[in-house]
Chains A and B, each alone.
Chain A
Amino acid sequence: MPSQRLVIALTLTAAACAPTAPRSATTVAPLGGVATSSIGTSAREQTADEQVQHVLSRLTFGARPGDVARVRQMGVDAFIAQQLRPERLPDQRLEAWLRQFETLDLSYRELQEAYPRPNEALQALGAANRNSLSPADSAEFRRTVQGLRRVSTEVQSARIGRALLTERQLEEVMTDFWLNHFSVFGGKNALMRYAIPEYERAIRARALGRFRDLLGTVAKSPAMLYYLDNWQSAADSGRPRLESPRFAQARNRGLNENFGRELLELHTLGVDGGYTQQDVIQVARALTGWTFLPQRPNAQQLQRMATEGAPGGRPGARPGIRPGAAGRGRAAQDPRIARAIAQRLPAPGVFYFNPQVHDAGEKVVLGQRLRGGRGIEDGEEVLDLVARHPATARHLATKLVRRFVSDDPPEALVARAAEVFTRTDGDLREVVRTIVTSPEFFSRDAFRAKVKTPFEVVVSALRALDAAPDATPRTAQVVNQLGQPIYGRQTPDGWPDVAAEWMGTGAILNRINFGQAIGARRLPGANPEGWPGVDSLRSASKEMQVDAVIAHFLGGRVSPETREILLTGTNPLQRSGAVDDEMRPLPPIRGLAQLVGLAIGSPEFQRR
C-alpha cells in the first residue's frame, strides 16, 4: 500500500497536475509566490504552473528534482531576477567538483609548457621519432600525449558538468549562447586546445556584461585570432606599414579576410546588415597586426630570423626594408643574436599589436573614415562602430529571442530587445531581462515550442536524474554522437537554433537510443533509478510509477496516448481490446529503468 513517503515523494517530484487533467488554473501555486510582483504579469498567457515550467526550461538546462517547488515558492519573477545576478549566487558544489581538473584554470602559455604537442615532446626528449625512444622515455612520451588529450577532454567534461551542477544556470545558458555565437573549432589545430580554456573563461565572465567588452575580448583572444586566421593577416604588398617588418615571415604575408568577414557577417551586423565586400576588406585591413605568437620559434627558425635581415641575403627581401636588428652577414651566425631575438619576442599565447604587419593606410569602414598612420586604434574604432551599429542590435536581439522564445522570433519583441540593446549601450543583462519578462516569452505559443539541442537533451536528462557529474570523456562523447560535439562545430556560424535543423530520422534514432542507454545504465553517474522519490515508487502501482515518471521527466503533461503507452506497453494503433487499468503486481526494478529510458526517448522529452 502506498506509504506516506510515497505521497511526499510524489508531491515533491510531481510538480504539475496529473497528466490527463485539462490545462487549467486548478494547480496555481498554493504558496502564492507567482504573479505577485512584476508589472505585466497579467499579460501572461501561461498559467502560473506553466510559467514555472517555462522559466526552468528556458533559463536553465532543465529542472532538477525540487526545482519546480523551489521556483513556485520564490516566485517566477524573483527566480528570473536571481538568475540575472549570477555573481550573488554561491556555487560551492560546482567549484568543489571542478577542483579535480588540472587544465581548466591554466593560461595558453601554461598549458603549452605543461602539455607539449607530440613533436615538441619528442624534441625535448632528443628523439627524431617515437620508435627511437628508450623504454623510459617512451613511457614519458605516452604520458605527454595523454596529457595533451586531457587538455581537450577536460574542457568538454567541464562544460557538461557546469551545465549540470551550477546554480548560475542563466549565466551558463548565456555562456553556451555566446560560445556558439563566437564559435571556434577545437579541431582546427592542436594549438587551439591551449587557447580554448581561457577563451571560455573570458566569455563566461562577460556572458551578461556589455557586448562591446565581450566583442573586444573575443577579437583579442588567441582562440578566435587563430581560428579565423587573423593572427597571420598582414598588410598587402604595396600598402604602407606602420613599421618596417624585420623578418621575412612578416614581410611576405598578406591580407587575410577571414576574420573581417565573419566579424561582420556572424558576430555583429549579420549577413543582411548592409555591408559590402569593400567593408570586409577595410575591416580586415584595420585589424592587421592584431595577433599573438602561437609558439616560440625553435632554434632553426630563430637562426633563420637572425640571418634574414642581411641585405640581399634573401631573394624575398625588398628595397626599403630596414636591415634587421639581428645584424648581417657572418655576425648573424652568432647564437647570441638568436637569443636576443628570442628575448624580444612577445610571450606565446598573449595578444599583442604588431605594427610591422599593420596596414597604415587610410580606410573607410561602413562609411566612416579611419585616417592613415594609426595603429591598434584602427581596430578598436571598428569594433566600436560595429558593436553600436543598429544592424548589430537587431541581429543579436533576433538570435537571443530565438534562443529564449521561439524559432520564429516575434517581431515586436525583437524590436524592443534591439531598442534596449541600443539604449543601454549593449548591456546584455538588460536585453535578456527584457526578453525573459516579456508577454511573448510567457505566451501560449512559446510554451514548449523549442526543440532541445543534443547538448540540452543530455544535460536536461542528467539534471532530471540528479546525476553525478562525469569527469571522464564519456558523456562528452555521447553529446558528440548525438550530433553536437563540444567545440566541434567546424564552421564559424555555430550550431543551428531551430527545430527543423535538429530533426532528422537519424537524429531521432540517436535520441531514442540515448534514452535506452540511460535505461541500461550506460551513462556514468546517471542512475535511472537514482532520483529522489524513486525508492518508494518501487513498491507502487504501475500507474503511480508512470505518473511519477511523467511528472519528473516530462513536465507533468503528455498526451493521453503517451501516458497509455507508458502504462500498458501497448500500441494503441494496433490494440483491439480494452486497457487493463488494474493495479499491477510489483514490477521488477528493470521495469522502472525501462520506463525512464522510454520517457527520455519520447517526443515530449525532445522539447523545452
Chain B
Amino acid sequence: MHRRVFVKSGALSLVTMGLSPSFLRRASFAMSLPRAAKGKVLVCLFQRGAADALNMVVPHGDPHYGRLRPSIAIARPARSAGTSGALDLDGFFGLHPALAPLKPLWDRDLLAPIHAVGSPSSTRSHFDAQDYMESGTPDVKGTRDGWLNRYLATCDTCEAGRAASGSGSSSSGAGTADRGGARAEPFRAVAMTQQTPRILMGPAPAVAMTSIDAFTVRSAGGVAERLEALYRTGSADLVHATGAETFDAVKRLREADPARYAPANGADYPRSEFGQRLRQLAQLIKADVGLEVGFADIGGWDTHVNQGGATGQLANRLTDFGTSIAAFVQDLGDRMEDVLILTMSEFGRMARQNGNGGTDHGHAGAMFAIGGAVRGGRVHGRWPGLAPEQLYEGRDLALTTDFRSVFSEVAAGHLGATHLEALFPGFDGQRSLGLLV
C-alpha cells in the first residue's frame, strides 16, 4: 500500500495495519491527555556505515581494549596535555580526541553517551541493520514505515496542540483540506537529505531537502501556480499527493523565512555538508516553522581499511561530526532545553582490528543523547566487557541495551508519545535507562 493512499483513507488504514480495535480505543483515550509541551524537538543524526563505537567512546579502562587493537587503539587518557589519548569521562570511558568539541557538553551534563546499545538482530549487513534501526522492527523486513513517522502519525495530541497554535498555515489552499488528518504543518518533520530517509517514511508527511534555499520553484510569471495546480488535480496517486505536500511546504517556508537567522552565540559550523545541514536545521527551529522531528545523516564510517587511531580516517569523520554538533548546541543556546539530539549508527564494528588496519562489521554500538532534557555527565548502559568470552559471537561488543529502549524513552519522555506499542510493535523489553532528567 502506498503511503499517500494511507493518508487519504484515514482511520480505516489503522485497522488494515493490523492494529486491534482495542488499540483504537486506547488511542482515542490517549488523545484527550495533554502530553508533550509545545516546542519539544528531537533531532536524529544517523552515522551511516557503522561507526566504530569502541574508538568513538573509548573503554580505556577495559584491560582487553588495547590488546584487541594493537595499531588503532586510542591511547589511555594523557596525564600531560598535548598528547593524543582519549579524553577521559569517568575514569573508564573516554571520548575520541577528535570529539574534543563535545567534551564541554559532558562537563555541563548535557551529553550522555550510551554504550553497548543497538539492534538485537545479528545481521551485519549495513542495509538490513539501517533498515531495522529506521523501521524500529529488528529482523522484521515487512515494515514499510519508519518509527519516527509512526510517532508522527500516532501522536495526535502533539499535532492537535501544534495545529491550534500554528501561525500562517490557514491560507494553504483547498488542496490540503482533503488530506485527511494531516494538517498544515509541513515542517513538523524535516530531513536534511536528498530523499526522505527510511526512518521518516510512512503515512505522515515529512519533508526532505538538501538546503532551505533550494526549497522553492525556480520560475516566474505564474508558472509555479500552474505547476501547483497540475499536482493538486487529476489523480490521487503517489506523485500527485507528494506534489501537493510540496507546494504546501514551499508556501509555509516562504512565510517563515528561516534564512534571517544567522548562527548565534558565536557558533561556528564547519563548511562540511553535515555542518551546513545542522546549521539549517537550527534555522528551521529558530524560525518556528513547527519543526518537531529533524533528521540528518553523515557517511564515511565504514572503515574496513586504515581507519587510523587518534588521527586518520575515523578521526576526520569524528571531527566533522563533533564540531558540527557542538556548533548546533552553541547556536541554539537556551533553546537546547527543549531540543534533544540523538545520534545512532546501524551497528558497531569488530572488537579486534582486521588485517587491513580497519575494522569489519560488528554488533553493539554507541549513541549520544544531547540536550537540556538529558541526564548527562554519565555513560548510560551496562558495559559487557571485552574479554574473549564476553564478546558477542567471540568477536564483537555484546549488546546490553536494545535501541528500542532508548527510542522509546526519548519518544515518550521527551516528545510525549503515548502509543509505544504502535511505535515498536512486538517490543516488550522496555526498560528505562534513566536517560532523561
Partner of B128 from the list A252, A271, A513 (CB cut-off 8 Å) is A271
A434 at the interface (CB under 8 A from B): no
CA distance A265 to B129 in the complex (A): 13
CA distance A501 to B134 in the complex (A): 14
Q: Are A512 and B210 in contact (CB under 8 A)?
A: no
Contact indicator per residue, chain A 123-149, by CB within 8 Å of chain B (1) or not (0): 000000000000000000000000000
Scoring A232, A499, A502, A571 by chain B CB atoms within 10 A of each residue's CB, the highest score goes to: A571
Chain A residues in 8 Å Cβ range of B218: 513, 516-517
Partner of B243 from the list A508, A517, A571 (CB cut-off 8 Å) is A508
Chain A residues in 8 Å Cβ range of B207: 504-506
CA distance A335 to B226 in the complex (A): 75
Q: Assess A254 versus B242: contact at CB under 8 Å? Given A261-B124, A559-B234, A572-B233.
A: no
CA distance A501 to B3 in the complex (A): 11
Q: How many A-B residue pairs have CB under 8 A?
A: 177
Chain A residues in 8 Å Cβ range of B3: 500
Q: Are A505 and B208 in contact (CB under 8 A)?
A: yes
Contact indicator per residue, chain B 275-288, by CB within 8 Å of chain A (1) or not (0): 00000000000000
Q: How far is the CB of A461 from chain B (nearest CB, A)?
A: 15
CA distance A256 to B303 in the complex (A): 12
Partner of A271 from the list B125, B173, B228, B305 (CB cut-off 8 Å) is B125
A307 at the interface (CB under 8 A from B): no
Q: Are A257 and B235 in contact (CB under 8 A)?
A: no
Q: Are B354 and A256 in contact (CB under 8 A)?
A: yes
CA distance A344 to B271 in the complex (A): 46
Q: Are A598 and B227 in contact (CB under 8 A)?
A: yes
CA distance A507 to B196 in the complex (A): 9
Chain A residues in 8 Å Cβ range of B230: 561-562, 565-566, 598, 601-603
CA distance A499 to B144 in the complex (A): 13
Q: Are A256 and B234 in contact (CB under 8 A)?
A: no
Number of interface residues of B (CB under 8 A): 65
**Chain A, Cβ-Cβ closest to B250:** A509
Q: How far is the CB of B47 from chain A (nearest CB, A)?
A: 13
Contact indicator per residue, chain B 130-162, by CB within 8 Å of chain A (1) or not (0): 000000000001000000000000000000000
Q: Are A261 and B355 in contact (CB under 8 A)?
A: no
A277 at the interface (CB under 8 A from B): yes
Chain A residues in 8 Å Cβ range of B304: 229, 256, 258
Chain B residues in 8 Å Cβ range of A11: none
Chain B residues in 8 Å Cβ range of A437: none
Q: Assess A509 versus B195: contact at CB under 8 Å? Given A565-B233, A571-B226.
A: no
Number of interface residues of A (CB under 8 A): 60
A269 at the interface (CB under 8 A from B): no
B164 at the interface (CB under 8 A from A): no
CA distance A277 to B246 in the complex (A): 43
Q: How far is the CB of B317 from chain A (nearest CB, A)?
A: 13
Partner of B235 from the list A493, A513, A566, A603 (CB cut-off 8 Å) is A603
CA distance A510 to B250 in the complex (A): 13
**Chain A, Cβ-Cβ closest to B210:** A506
Chain B residues in 8 Å Cβ range of A272: 141
CA distance A516 to B193 in the complex (A): 22
Contact indicator per residue, chain A 547-585, by CB within 8 Å of chain B (1) or not (0): 000000000001111100110011111100000000000
CA distance A573 to B230 in the complex (A): 10
Partner of A503 from the list B222, B239, B249, B361 (CB cut-off 8 Å) is B239
B356 at the interface (CB under 8 A from A): yes
**Chain B, Cβ-Cβ closest to A257:** B360
Q: Are B209 and A506 in contact (CB under 8 A)?
A: yes
B64 at the interface (CB under 8 A from A): no
Scoring A491, A499, A501, A508 by chain B CB atoms within 10 A of each residue's CB, the highest score goes to: A508
CA distance A500 to B195 in the complex (A): 10
A398 at the interface (CB under 8 A from B): no
Q: Are A607 and B239 in contact (CB under 8 A)?
A: yes
Q: Assess A253 versus B195: contact at CB under 8 Å? Given A569-B222, A571-B226.
A: no
A418 at the interface (CB under 8 A from B): no
Q: Are B246 and A234 in contact (CB under 8 A)?
A: no
Q: Are A506 and B208 in contact (CB under 8 A)?
A: yes
**A residues 515-537 touching B (CB-CB < 8 Å):** 516-517
Q: Are A506 and B195 in contact (CB under 8 A)?
A: yes
CA distance A607 to B239 in the complex (A): 9
Q: Are A561 and B216 in contact (CB under 8 A)?
A: no
Q: How far is the CB of B259 from chain A (nearest CB, A)?
A: 17
Nearest 3 pairs of A and B residues by beta carbon: A254-B355, A559-B234, A561-B233
Chain B residues with CB under 8 Å of chain A are 2-3, 48-49, 122, 124-128, 141, 173-175, 186, 193-196, 201, 205-210, 214-219, 221-223, 225-235, 237-240, 242-243, 245-246, 249-250, 299, 304-305, 354-356, 360-361, 393
* Sample of 16 further A-B pairs with CB below 8 A, known A505-B207, A561-B233: A255-B354, A256-B304, A277-B122, A451-B239, A490-B49, A490-B299, A493-B127, A505-B246, A508-B239, A558-B234, A561-B229, A565-B226, A565-B230, A571-B228, A573-B175, A598-B230
